[in-house]
Structure 1
């Protein structure tokens, strides 16, 4: 069952689980995935926490305790989520040590309502880093226009960052620029660059979902022939940009000081279209120095019937660009696609956060 996952790991892809809950921690499920399924990290987001907190009674005792102390709603949410993340960080500490700090990482996102507020994002990132207080934490900051300077400023304080909600290669280049700037400032601030880790989370399946919808609306044979091809092409172009930036002189100077490259992370890799192979966003994005964060359903599918056959990305940039050229030719406005996806991504997380607050408020009301 795990041969495919071992092959993926051996190819240089770090396997992270895109889920976390108190239930996973206390039942031993996460420990089992680490032990038997080559999982070496975890990512969370507001939607994941909203689902975890609305499901079952795992949080009831802590909610009652916090209610008795008179904690505010926001304080309760912060305490519940950071407790799970801290405990997950502890579970991954041996992987963190064994990988010299590269893996064994657990991500927690800043409040999505701050996505358009640089100053508040920087403050929240610092507070989360201090609250969780674990060296293998990654603070997630969205790659919005306002998020880009927040990323550089957070890194400059020696805080490790998972940059999330990246859709376009153009925005990804701005993220890499923010990473290099952040490291340069961190060095000036006296931080050891080797202790700073970062990944850049490129959202995959949502690109196909949006573009396929537009291709279906066009309805031509040329348009239909491009269905299901955009997301992988987009990620492959991102990897080509990664290779370019992390081979330049500016990067080499930072690497000489112990800095590590900011690895691309393939996020949103669960396949949403039942017509497509359910492991395509793993099978077709195998390449060294990357992370693939999967929901458990995708992880189990890859273990069962994935087609892991070595590097499927290096040298594919020209072919990927052809896909994008054809998309433009049939009338797909790619700039608009990426604008819509970013807006929807922020909105979705804001809605999930509102659901999370509502769920916890209900639990607090019961506890009083």
Structure 2
């Protein structure tokens, strides 16, 4: 029996999650097929994914018509649609969650991205989403803004599992791990079972290369061009080094003794944006034990078809990763400026997608009321 690249990836300690969800995927069984055939053990969503799902085709016409007849607002309609899809996906992945004691089989849903700078609003919505989905294997996604850090701690402290998203910098990642561990300390004080609280930290990869490659092209020297396509991997590998460091402390040992599980690094934005690069670059070059890689289906298919898995490709690359970031700094490319731009752009894109979704659903509600 042939062992597939996705099976080898799983065997190497990488959990494969799909970065997509729609009612069509659930209804047609295509998501179930990915679980059965391509080792998919979880799903992530974001505002852009929901916008694409809800505004393409007619899968949501009936629920929009029902909400229109009930006089629901656009916010209520979108809340109902997204939480229903996520709850149904949680049911599909429930056997995976049971088999892995909740480590995998996870489905993520993000708080309204317009709340990314609103700590109290994020905490409130995180609790509302968690209550509405009402599935043990849901993860509530919270952006890793400065305002989000306190919300991450409070949400975990309430016993709710969290996917921390939009992490670009190593400094912010350290702050995210601190927020996670503070949240578990609060949860312990609040009497929650730490073994039931799960978290991932979503570190974005390809967007780092897209931004830095643009700056390297502007410099235009052979030295600059030689660094193209290296920053994203270097940044992610050094993030894993931070993970190893901060989950080897006495502080963490106390939490682990109380039943806590580590917050796993999750590689996000793993679809290659430059066609000159191998289409499995951000998968096969980021293999390490205890990580998640969430992939768009195109990247998943490429990995399944021709990915070459050669064991751990992260831990042995720390020196080269540091050398890459140092070389970029020597060329005048500011790491801190790049990650700040990427966080701002990432949030702006999600807010724009969310607003487009609300506008499109509002128009659909209006049309449904007119036809009724």
Q: TM-score range by the shorter chain?
A: over 0.9
Distance 1:230 1:314 in 2: 16
Contact 1:2 1:303 in 2 (8 A): no
In structure 1, the partner of 2:74 is 73
Query: Following TM superposition, where does structure 1 have runs of at least 4 consecutive aligned residues deviating by more than 3 angstroms?
Result: none
In structure 2, the partner of 1:231 is 232
User: Deviation string for 1:57-91 (max 9, x for gaps)?
Assistant: 00001111111111111000000000000000000
Q: Secondary structure at the match of 1:57?
A: coil
Q: What's the CA shift for 1:222?
A: 1.0
The alignment's TM-score, normalised by the length of structure 1, stands at 0.99
Q: What's the CA shift for 1:312?
A: 0.5
In structure 1, the partner of 2:123 is 122
Distance 1:32 1:342 in 2: 34
* Matched residues, number: 368
In the TM superposition, 1:234-313 aligns within 5 A as 234-313=235-314
Contact 1:2 1:37 in 2 (8 A): no
Q: Secondary structure at the match of 1:311?
A: coil
In structure 2, the partner of 1:151 is 152
In structure 2, the partner of 1:18 is 19
Distance 1:2 1:43 in 2: 26
Q: Secondary structure at the match of 1:146?
A: helix
Q: What's the CA shift for 1:206?
A: 0.1
Considering only aligned residues, what root-mean-square deviation do their CA atoms show, in Å? Answer: 0.8
Distance 1:33 1:362 in 2: 34
Q: Secondary structure at the match of 2:358?
A: helix
Q: Secondary structure at the match of 2:81?
A: helix
Q: Does residue 212 of structure 1 match 2:213? A: yes
The alignment's TM-score, normalised by the length of structure 2, stands at 0.98
Q: Does residue 87 of structure 1 match 2:88? A: yes
Distance 1:317 1:241 in 2: 11
Distance 1:2 1:270 in 2: 23
Q: What's the CA shift for 1:183?
A: 0.2
Distance 2:316 2:57 in 1: 47
Q: What's the CA shift for 1:363?
A: 1.3
Structure 2 residue runs of 5 or longer lacking an equivalent are: none
